[in-house]
């Protein structure tokens, strides 16, 4: 059997680094979707796939797939397609799955508990080390095996454990104060579920998640579909 290196172009990290700053945000947002579909293909026993086949599965054009992957140097070979294991590994590398980032969840309410229960983090290479809350009734307990600390300990804990990611599930009134504590402690990324647009300086990356916006988008699409049906 041919080696992965023989049937795929060599992944050039320098090439990727040079292009990284110019990669469109839309392409970056699609990478996790590629990762998810490719993992499903691996689980099903597939070894290789063409861009045309992948386009049918993902409902995007083959040219879009090739353009997206070419932003990072390209990973296919004409007449062969993509080695799925190789491509999955390289997209995992681009997404930092192998970096082993440590995270904390701030806010042990319903959403914080739900995030503590999911296996999503581990599957994407993120380790949840602790939960934080101000409620004395939950401080000192464990939620799905993760210990809950008082928020007063957040700064020291993040500094000591070199936490990379802070997950915010606090009320929006407290979001900036908690985010500033995380930033000052050296946290490099914040996943913000606080239902407000959190803006920090360039030392920390913020991904603002608005569940309500997603729900409203769904409602719009349902209404649009209903309106079209009525017109017909």
pLDDT at 194 over 90: yes
In the three-class reduction of DSSP (H, G, I as helix; E, B as strand; rest coil), residue 35 is classed as: helix
What mean pLDDT comes out for the span 11-35? 68
Side-chain-side CA neighbours of residue 204 (13 Å) = 27
Please indicate whether residue 18 or residue 50 has the higher confidence score (pLDDT): 50
What is the rounded distance in angstroms from the CA atom of residue 231 to the CA atom of residue 86? Answer: 49
Side-chain-side CA neighbours of residue 220 (13 Å) = 6
Of 12-16, 83-87, 111-115, highest mean pLDDT: 111-115
Q: Which domains does the chain have, with CATH numbers?
A: 4-94 (1.10.10.10), 100-213 (3.40.50.720)
- The sign of the torsion formed by the CA atoms of 152, 101, 180, 209 equals negative
For residue 195, with 0-12 CB atoms within 10 Å meaning exposed, 13-18 middle and 19 or more buried, which class applies?
middle
Residue among 75, 78, 81 at smallest CA distance from 49: 81
For helices 51-58 and 62-70, give the axis angle rounded to 10 degrees.
110
What is the rounded distance in angstroms from the CA atom of residue 75 to the CA atom of residue 87? Answer: 7
Residue 117 has φ and ψ, to the nearest 5°, of: -85, -20
Please, which pLDDT band fits residue 135 given cuts at 50, 70 and 90? very high
pLDDT at 6 over 70: no
Consecutive H or E run containing 76: none
Beta bridge partners of 128: 103
pLDDT at 17 over 80: no
pTM for the model? 0.79
Please, which pLDDT band fits residue 220 given cuts at 50, 70 and 90? very high
């Amino acid at each position: 059997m041919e080696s992965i290196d023989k049937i795929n172009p060599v992944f050039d990290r320098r090439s990727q680094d040079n292009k990284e700053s110019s990669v469109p945000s839309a392409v970056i947002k699609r990478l996790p979707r590629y990762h998810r579909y490719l993992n499903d293909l691996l689980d099903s026993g597939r070894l290789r796939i063409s861009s045309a086949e992948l386009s049918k599965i993902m409902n995007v054009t083959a040219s879009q797939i090739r353009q997206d992957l070419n932003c990072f140097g390209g990973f296919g070979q004409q007449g062969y397609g993509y080695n799925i294991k190789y491509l999955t590994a390289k997209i995992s590398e681009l997404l930092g799955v192998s970096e082993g980032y440590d995270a904390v969840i701030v806010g042990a309410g319903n959403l914080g508990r739900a995030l503590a229960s999911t296996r999503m983090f581990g599957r994407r290479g993120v380790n949840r080390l602790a939960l934080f809350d101000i409620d004395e009734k939950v401080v000192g307990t464990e939620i799905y095996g993760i210990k809950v600390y008082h928020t007063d300990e957040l700064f020291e804990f993040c500094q000591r454990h070199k936490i990379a990611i802070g997950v915010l599930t606090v009320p929006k009134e407290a979001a900036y104060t908690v985010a500033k504590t995380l930033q000052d402690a050296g946290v490099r990324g914040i996943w913000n579920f606080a239902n407000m647009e959190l803006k920090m300086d360039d030392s920390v990356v913020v991904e603002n998640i608005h569940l309500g916006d997603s729900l409203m988008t769904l409602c719009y699409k349902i209404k649009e579909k209903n309106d079209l049906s009525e017109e017909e």
